Amino acid sequence: MSLAADQVIADAAAANKTFQLQKISSSESTRIDSGTTLANPRVMQIKHSLSGPKGVDQVDRHLLSFATTKTDGNGKQATTVMNVTIALPRNGVVARADVNDLIAFVRNWLNTSANVDALLLGQS
């Protein structure tokens, strides 16, 4: 099953942004926010890989990445990236309910501004 070519995702202000498919292969895709420019894009990437020894000990890795690039007054670009990786062993020991809990932990932690502020200040 494939994702829809365009992904519509709300930003922090609850405004929908459309990420249009630019590139796709069997293991990754790249989408760009249609409201941004190629000089200063907002990019969504999805990548899949497999690691570990063969058999049931292999781990499926799924990466979701968002990046935004801005240009300063001197024409120098700066890019900020947010990555989420799900590494799921193929042995079936970890249930989808466990993955759902991890997703909720990340979502809820990031939804607390004080947590993000502390993280950006280098606090652990």
Q: Give me the DSSP letters along 45-92.
A: EEEEEEESSSSTT-EEEEEEEEEEEEE-TTS-EEEEEEEEEEEEETTS
Cross-strand pairs, 78: 70
Q: Tell me if residue 18 falls in helix, strand or coil.
A: strand
Please state the pTM of the whole predicted model: 0.91
- Please state which architecture CATH assigns to domain 7-92: 2-Layer Sandwich (3.30)
Per-residue pLDDT in tens (0 to 9) along the chain, 124 residues: 578 899 999 999 999 999 999 999 999 999 999 999 999 999 999 999 999 888 778 999 999 999 999 999 999 999 999 999 999 999 989 999 999 999 999 999 999 999 999 999 999 9
What six digits make up the tokens of 89?
Answer: 């062993």
CA-based nearest residue to 16, from 2, 34, 37, 40: 34
- Are residues 6 and 21 in contact, defined by beta-carbon separation less than 8 angstroms? yes
